[in-house]
Structure 1
Amino acid sequence: MHWITIIFIGIAANLDNLGIGLAYGVKRVKIPILSNAVIAVLSMIVTFVAVTAGSTVIEYISPHTANLLGSLLLCVIGIFTLFSNRFSKHSIAKNPEVFDEDKNHIISMREAMTLGFVLSANCLAGGIAIGANGISAIWTVISIGTFSFITVGIGSHFGVLLSKTFIGKYSTAISGWLLISIGIFEVFAK
């Protein structure tokens, strides 16, 4: 089993969530546990669909080719993460109150559903790549959900403190480099 990959994909897919959580924490917008759980579950659902789609690819091409394509896709996603402006997430980080529709400084479960779909975008392409590599769908889904819950929770709780740290400032770059590293690791892991 690819435990290292499963753990790092969970971390990489959710470092942006840490940044978003930090933005909410700085603005004193609370994300209650149930709302955070909704965000994590949506990430898990999107990841499961993506991993299932990626693992379907293996049925039509050789496992070696699927592994190479999946690894290459992870590297491409990492490079895109490094060089893109991340428009939707960038705007959330600058204006986190956008999803607080009732302006009560608390993200309700309904508001968390919209936010969760936006934050789960990272999981889509990464999940397809993981599925093409033949990595366990269930453990990947659990990793993504767990790290989503942790990063959003830590970010929103410690927003003011963590926003000034290295991870808070460079979460997108760290995420991109992690995805590239996972892709390279997966090429040689089989």
Structure 2
Amino acid sequence: MNLFSAFFLALSSNLDNIGIGASYGIRRIDLPFWSNLIVAIVTTIGTIISMCIGNVAANYISSHPAKIIGSSIIAGAGVWVILQSWIAPNKVESAPQVLKEMSSPFAPLKNEMLRAKTILALQIKSLGIIIQILKEPWVADMDLSRKIEGKEAFLLAFALMINNLASGFGGGMVGINIPLTAGMTFVLSLFTLAISVKFGHQYLSRWLGKYASLVAGIILIAVGIYEFFV
């Protein structure tokens, strides 16, 4: 049954990838394999670290309180994700809208405005940058090359990693298998980003991207409740 919790914890951690990948696919922003690999490695490392910290913390608490705290953190992270999706829902634009923007005579001006916005974003605190990337994934393309490479991939990966620390910590506290979760997180990260970028222009991908945060939140709540009662 540990397989159940490990899989759904890893799945919930990677559902944001669908919204991000769909945004890139629609805007024709390429995510090369090596950049996708960087994202998968960084998010997996974040999962391992957060789960290990949660596991160590659980050793200083008796098993029953640790289970209550850990499952509550997982469910709480799910509630937070859902609230965030309602307050600031992921905006996955339609392909015709994006193509119209790209062909507009004002597109160069918009690109310069986006560049200025990105430079301004880099001047604020790191947390602000992370929040901005999660809300507007294309901002990670800092040089406007329509390709996520190098430091841009690390920035995107760090944003996704930070977003999943709480659920990983809770998973470690309740004793969910760390290697199993890490392995699934790595594979699902590679898969969800690659597929959503490739098929981002299709309706199903855009629909999944739009509701990814809501689904991820529901899954986390379900895992938290499940771990509380097992």
The reply to whether TM is greater than 0.5 is yes
Partner of 1:158: 199
Q: Secondary structure at the match of 2:183?
A: helix
> Which structure 2 residues correspond to residues 57-72 of structure 1 after superposition, within 5 A?
57-72=57-72
Post-superposition shift, 1:95? 3.8
Post-superposition shift, 1:91? 4.1
Q: Measure the CA separation in 2 of the matches of 1:171 and 1:89.
A: 18
Post-superposition shift, 1:51? 0.6
Partner of 1:42: 42
Deviations 1:96-153 (A, max 9, x none): 3311122211111321001100011232111110110111111111111211111111
Q: Does 1:180 align with 2:218?
A: no
Alignment-mate amino acid for residue 67 of structure 1: K
Q: Does 1:143 align with 2:143?
A: no
Partner of 1:8: 8
Partner of 1:76: 76
Alignment-mate amino acid for residue 217 of structure 2: G
Q: Measure the CA separation in 1 of the matches of 2:136 and 2:11.
A: 24
Unaligned runs of 5+ in 1: none
Identity among equivalent positions (%) equals 34
Q: Please, what is the CA RMSD of the aligned residues?
A: 1.8
The answer (yes or no) to whether the contact 1:20–1:92 under 8 Å persists in 2 is: no
Q: Measure the CA separation in 1 of the matches of 2:211 and 2:25.
A: 17
- Equivalent in 140, 149, 153 of residue 112 of structure 1: 153
Alpha carbons of 1:12 and 1:186: their partners in 2 closer, same or farther (altered >3 Å)? same
Alignment-mate amino acid for residue 228 of structure 2: V
TM superposition score normalised by structure 1 = 0.92
Alignment-mate amino acid for residue 27 of structure 2: K
Alignment-mate amino acid for residue 218 of structure 2: W
TM superposition score normalised by structure 2 = 0.76
Give the count of matched residue pairs.
188
Q: Measure the CA separation in 2 of the matches of 1:18 and 1:93.
A: 12
The answer (yes or no) to whether the contact 1:51–1:128 under 8 Å persists in 2 is: yes
